[in-house]
Amino acid sequence: MKIGIITLPLHTNYGGILQAYALKTFLESVGHEAVVLDPIDKMPAPGGLRAPFVYASRMLKRGLKGKKGPEVFREHRFRRELPVVGKNTSAFVEKYISPRMIKSYGDISEGEFDAFVVGSDQVWRPRFFGKIEDAFLAFTSGWDVKRLAYAASFGTDQLEFEYQQLEQCSALLSKFDGVSVRELGAVEMCSEWFDYENAVHVLDPVMMLDADCYKEFAATSGDHSAKGKILTYLLDRSAHKMNVVEFIRRVSSKEVHDVSVRAYDKSLPVSERVVPPLETWLAGFSEADMVVTDSFHGCVLSILMHKPFIVVENSYRGMSRIKSLLDMFALDQRLVQGIDPEDDGAFFLSDPDWEAVETVLNAKRAESAAFLLENLK
């Protein structure tokens, strides 16, 4: 069966790239032909009659809030900088994912694919996808194809759809042959918001592949700079997160190795924002003794590679996916807002019960694989 994969645009986000690779790889491992569909324009600018109103609104907010206001022409800056900051991640995408580049989903013709799989990552979050109706396969209207969602995520437990979008996407979702979501709370959201009662909870695609797959990529990097150290991977820096890092450094007496990226930090020259290769990022997780992160996929890799870890709450990006992941493996105590300076850190430095984690992981892998295999018959 030839399957088209609909996911978020692939650019410099390590987790987004890795989940697309993992889903494609799993589908191919069970005998399907899988093609990731990737838009050429990773961040479309407002178009048509809407554009003047969007830019005027941003300019007004910028005038009122100063630097805290929205960047007026952010899409144009993103396009200029991406070829530079994303050159290493683009190399991985081209080599291991080989996506089909499209101007729009309207480029796809009926009969090209037997099925479409939507997912994973925050593909059902309107502010991340663009035309959100296409994430619910609006472009396949009237086609005789299988329609599935695999580990699709809303990214948050709050409704971010406008009323018209909700009405349209609910109607589109009713035509799916199978729906699975990445967060347990999203099962209820599908029922409550979209009148879809049969959604199931599955693993993020990254967890469908064995840790050895990622360790092999890590080994190709030849990078051992994280060996024996505390790895930090923070999407958003803040004082309280750095306090947690400093606490762990002090109680463990280990050095810190940071693999956070600053691809779009405008305070730095573009040449200093180039994102390191994904293989180097994976090497950090493979070599480190423990991890401090605020990232969902940072948690995923820590679990797969059996690294003691701490997750520092990052409410700005939404916490539902991280809480759902930790609850699944009974690792919720690894999530902190801060740490009592009087704490001796023993719990965080210790290994979780990895045998129990693997038992859950194997069971969820079987359930997740069964969802795909049964719905793609």
pTM of the entire predicted model: 0.94
Q: Which among 79, 78, 59, 77 is positioned nearest to 69, based on CA atoms?
A: 59
Over residues 3-30, the pLDDT tens digits come to: 999 999 999 999 999 999 999 999 999 9
Q: Give the chain's length.
A: 377
pLDDT of residue 31: 96
pLDDT of residue 340: 82
pLDDT of residue 361: 98
Q: How far apart are CA 328 and CA 325, in angstroms?
A: 5
Spans of the chain below 70 pLDDT: none
Which residues are CB-contacts of 370 (< 8 A; sequence separation ≥ 6)?
none
pLDDT of residue 124: 96
Task: Identify the CATH class of 2-207+363-375.
Answer: alpha beta
pLDDT of residue 57: 87
Over residues 193-214, the pLDDT tens digits come to: 999 999 999 999 999 999 999 9
Residue ranges of the chain assigned to CATH 3.40.50: 2-207+363-375, 210-359
Q: What are phi and psi of 328, to 5 degrees?
A: -55, -40
Query: Is the N-terminal amide bond of 120 cis, ω within 30° of 0?
Result: yes
pLDDT of residue 161: 93
pLDDT of residue 60: 86
Q: Let me know: does 95 contact 113? Beta carbons within 8 Å.
A: no
Q: How far apart are CA 348 and CA 297, in angstroms?
A: 19
What tokens were used for 329? 């493996």
Q: Which residue carries 């991280």 as its tokens? A: 322
- We find that the CATH architecture of domain 210-359 is 3-Layer(aba) Sandwich (3.40)
Q: Let me know: does 110 contact 45? Beta carbons within 8 Å.
A: no
